[in-house]
Structure 1
Amino acid sequence: MHVTTTSCILLLWMHTLTFVKSQDNPGACTLEDFKKYHLYDGNFDISGMQASYPGGRQVKVGCNVGYSGFFKLLCVEGKWQHRGTNCQPRSCGHPGDAQFADFQLRKGDDFVFGSEVVYICHKGFQMVSRTNFRRCMAEGWDGVIPVCEAQQCPSINVPNNVNVMGDAEEATYGNVVRFSCKSSNYIMKGAREIYCDENGDWKGLEDGNPTCEVVKCEPPRIENGFVLGDIKEYNEREILNFECNLQHKRAQELPSRCTKTGDRAEWIPTPECEEIKCELTLPPLQGTTYEPAHRSRFSPGETVTVTCEERSWIGRTRTRSVETTCNEDGQWSVRPVCQEVTCIRPQDRLLSRWDASWRDETKKLGDTVRYTCISGYKRKDGVTRATCTRDGWEPNPLCEEIKCRSQQFNNADITGKIQAEYRYNDHVQYNCKRGYEGSFTLTCKEDGWDRSNECTAITGCPTTSFDRRLKVWQHGDKLYFRCEDGYKPLSKGWWGEATCVHGVWSGVESCIEEQKCREAPEIPNGEGILGNTEQHGQTQEMMFIDCNEGYSAKIEELTCRDGRWDLNGSLDDICKSNHDNCSPPPKVENAVITTCYRKQYPSGSEVTYQCRDKYTIEGNATLKCTAGEWKELNIQCILYCDQLMDESLDFRAEKKKYMTGEIIEYQCKNRAGIIGTATCQHGKWAKAIECEEKCRVPETPAGLTITTDVTDDQMKKGQHLTFACENSNHIIKGNATLECLENGQWSNPLPTCEAAQQCRTPPHLSGGRTKTWTRNTYRHNEKVEYVCDRDYGMEGGPFKTCVDGDWVGEMRCRRAQGCGRPPPLSDGDTKRSTKQLYQHNEKVEYICQRYYVMKGGPFKTCNDGEWTGEIRCLQACTVNRDDMNRHNIRFRFSRDDKLYSEHDDEIEFTCTRGRPVGTLGMRQKCEHGVIHLPTCQ
């Protein structure tokens, strides 16, 4: 009780003393005043501050644990003034990336004291660490980076006759396992492909476990036909012998064969019998009409009249109309198809070759023919083929004379007479100028000047040091070399020579030890990839074989023995072609194939064609590869028109697609009684009469120009015309843009151009000046740039522009503040030691840690009290051989055991054994410290 009483008396005495002192010293500042200061917060450490400070006293205030800053108080006439910045949370830097996981801030807005990040495993991975978070403490991030491991699926057992592609024993998330029959005489039943999902379960077993059964076909029942013989069961590839009833024929000419198609055994083609009829294409082909109409099948003896449009004809008779009869074999006496008018061989004396035989001299519309012109002439407009159009062959004319413009060089002069243009095969001689040697000749050829030589600067090659194991002898501009005993040149032979070219020795090689192998030999249909392996503690040179698509490797790798590659046979036998494959499918005009391009297509595979926009497909869109050959192609892409969409027309659309030549009738909505027709012409509608009123493009007076892209002398409602003055010293008066109105009139009268007034000397800028010397007068649109004096910052500007006699452009120079120490950079630092105070516009240069890539920067600039300039250090990637061994991969090219790869660098991998699985490609990019490794099985 005595101690408490004493303490209270002491505190009362100190308060009274402070009050008395403050009364005695009215210019003093107190701790209580600082607590009420507008910048005060709980991040300051005020435990060491006194209760009161006299006027003029300067006090440094520290920060609590976990915070940093530089803050000073100055007592001026009883009030606190400050210098520096508030206490800010200390930065912990990047918390670290976890493989197969992402992280996010769970507490705080940045990686500073008090913040917390939580790690979340990627899909298909599970957390194996005890904690999944890290906290930013005063001494940095606590704990360690969490670890995520992939989910694993149970092993799969399959019968012995099933081939397994992939790891069915220890598969993890994302792994794919495919099944196929080991023998081609078996059919796959059940699942063909399964994959390990994110929960460690196999997906794809819904159809049952994979099994293989022998390919067998049963005799089919054929309507209007019968099977010959008494065979109960057919083996694969056996042919079915059957016949059709009277007045019927086989629907397919090809023999029906027992064929394995996917997971079934079927008769291909299907054995069918159909009634003998003559077929017509309905609806008719473009430009074709039939009489009688609306029928497609006719019996033998019946006739049909076929009529073509004016610009088409019957191919054999070349007449517009013909009568054709159905024969007993189901064929027409005259093929009832209209064809486009054709083009005949041109009679042009300038043609030297026309790549079309005399038997096939006529070509259909759109057909092209390769041709060449006589000497001195070339194909017009750079085309390589002539095209048959309705107006004859294009381009027209086919050939034009070859001419070359005179060519000038800085290091050479023309000898003889100089001409503006030269004809084909004309030669122009050039002599090189002083300081250069040689002469050369230019020859006028079809593609321009053909240069035979060039001038070279007169230099000599230095005899600098070469490979220390290389012995050299110089003779004139030649250098002869060989390797010391026990070594050999890298490429071939035991000696070589180099030539002095533009001051550099060209052809000098390096030496390698005799027992080492030279460069990888050229592998037909593949390539050799150099690498090393460890055998009995020694490094062994290896060459891994990578065959092209459609070829398989007979041997996977070659070994270097006594300085030679152990080929074990001929190079031609290493990569062998796969059998029964088809080459790429044939091209169809105006169509694409919906599957990816391949060099080889296995027998039984299919491709599907798809027409481009505005084209419709005719025929079977799917093509199949059978025994190395594509089934006969019967596909066409026909151009059509969409429904006519025009708000100014009144008509009835009967269908969504119209073919070329089809006509519809319409009536103008705003012009009563006006009726017109629209014709579909190659995907576009051609209207005989325009319904809407149009504005006529006016003729512009001198000095005024139209800047709008105008393609016609009339414009539609809502379109605009924009005008500008041709003379830059003139300004436009009136509306520069006119709109076409519904009544066919422009919204405003034509503008005019008048000479703009000049400006006097530009105005003075307080705290700044013009960047260059000023003049008494300035032209319209001329600019003047301003800069602020040292320690001043500019707001607005920096240009003022002369506009019709007035200076336009707002700017102001005001005194700028300095900056404290520059901010820290995560994974980097300043290039030099820093100061406590920096002037306005002063710069500080930063650098990143080794292998880190800088984005932005490298400078931060003091700008009116704040540091400006964005800088980031992007993290590097690390890949070691243990990681690659787990994925069965190696580097595509030789690298170190431990690789550091910068951000955005790409690394190419290849399989050590097996084939790639999953969706990751073999070329991967380092992105922000993470690189994903592909997997091979």
Structure 2
Amino acid sequence: MLLLISVTLTVGVSLGAPAQEITCDRPFILNGNYIPEKTKYTLTDIIIYHCKEGFYPATKRMIARCTNTGWEPRPRCTLLQVKPCEFPKIKHGHLHTADRENTVPVGKWYDYSCNDNFVTHSGSFWGRITCTREGWSPAVPCRKTCSKSDLEIPNGFISESDPTYPVQKQVQYKCKQGYVTADGQTTGLITCQQSGWSAQPTCIKYCGMPVFENATAVITGARFRVNDTLDYKCLDGYENQDGKSTASMVCGENGWTHLPKCYKSTDMCGRPPSISNGDITSFLLAVYPPGSRIEYQCQAYYQLRGSKYVTCNEGTWSEPPKCMVQPCAFPEIKHGSLHNENRYKPYFPAAVGKWYYYSCNDNFVTHSRSFWDHITCTREGWSPAVPCRRRCLFRYVVHGYTPSSEEYHKDYFQGDTVRVECHPGYSLPNEQTSMTCTENGWSPPPTCIPVKTCSKSDLEIPNGFISESDLTYPVENQVEYKCKQGYGTADGHTTGSITCQQNGWSTQPTCNKYCGMPVFENATAVITGARFRVNDTLDYKCLDGYENQDGKSTASMVCGEDGWTHLPTCYKSTDMCGRPPSISNGDITSFLLAVYPPGSRIEYQCQAYYQLRGSKYVTCNEGTWSEPPKCMDPCVISEQSMNKNNIQLKGKEDKTYYAKTGDLIEFVCKSGHTAATSQQTFQAVCQEGVVEYPRCE
């Protein structure tokens, strides 16, 4: 590389002669250009230069200044074998104080820190990023952290106190008593990954082995999941509360449905004795275990005498009660009074058949509607049961039509009903069309109120919709809603219905995600079903001689928001491939698995300066990988080899040069030497690490 610099410096020989101006000639920059371009440059003038693609400035700054010794620093563009790094940009972080540079040489490093929810590669507050031959290291300076607050573990908890965890950190969670993980353990592990937590921890209910009383379990076990069944058998001569020697119980959300308890067959009781004019309050069983207690009650107008309970003891029921005819107590006449009641009160209770005169208060009438009537003691009690009935008058309707003349002058009595007509847009409460005379007057009152409606806009149905076009609906109107494809109602249907009520819609419609039964390829489902909810698990089994992509014959998949976690596909065991072959001076770009299904494709890449020959992919076919590529050796052009042949690289000043297979390398004779081989040999080609050098004498 040549650099022409001309410095003109004239020093006066006379003390009175002025010094001549210092100037610099135009610089010559091989493989570069500069601004501004002038014929001459004076002292302190500066230029800014740029290098062509593939060349880099020899100094940190691309500026040179004219001085009394020439251009400083010398503006040069150099071809580097090791490419420098571009100035780093820290994603989710920032560099510690540093001047920005266009390029950074290999080996230089900077301190950096990360934003919230991210950590440095070392885990400390300050990290270090270094320029290497392969680029910046670490390649991902700031790694994501996972937050403890992102986890919800129903019936479980994380005992560690740290609020956040770095990527690859494993965290243990524990289930509360009576709950276990999906694989039946009391604790489980999750890992912080770049995308967040590896899984959402779950703790599910289980039932422990119960204590058997005069019975034994048909099968043994330590823990049972919800809906698991446990069969048990009574000892010889014993039976359970249903009179059977064998039975089953089911694990539910609140534990076992019943306890496995058996009793001596001779201590069991049959049905309890019946009583006249009385009933048993509970549903009758065929047999009852010892200690069972049954309650009796008398029919209307009969009085119970004795204990209302009977107990089973050594196969026999205790003495039952009796129901006797009940006399009539003193009648409390609501809205009326007994004739001479103070005189007759000492003679109560009254025998059946005895009667007394009575009268009613204002706005109430006797049963015969005369001023005096009589009340009689019967086996069923006092008759009439309602001695004084209300009298109602129908004179007006608020927001309704006036009653007819006949209705206006008519007397209505307790229990009578009259039809009411309201103005348009009004109705009696609950859209009734009539009112009834009651003890407290008209029910409902003769007042019409605005009709209640429900608005379609009050409904929000995520993943569902109402297909009807009406905007409002009257009370008691039923409306159908539909779920989008892949979603269903809470009871598993594609449509549901809601009703407009006085206080609004009967319920808020919901459409939940579900997964349909997938198509199995060389596999079968362990259980069957039509629809599965989110987080439901479906177990499947490969056919004989087949296995899934993980090399297993049985596996599970989970219904998620986006469908099944994977498809239940199994492959012939003989068609599966092991780990792909390794190659010299090359690597596989993906994470290695233990087994690969047929059709899997793996990519290779060569190490720096090695040239890949052949396809960079291998494919698994019938248990065998296709032919892998090769990484061809580079050629190393050393200073020793060039000195031996009196040659040097054309246009390069490197002492050692690396070339890939197929690269063209140009040589020239060193100064003072002439070619001893043909001119064609000075353009050599690298072939698998070998190069034929030309020779000069």
Given the two structures, how large is their TM-score scaled by the length of structure 2? 0.30
Given the two structures, how large is their TM-score scaled by the length of structure 1? 0.24
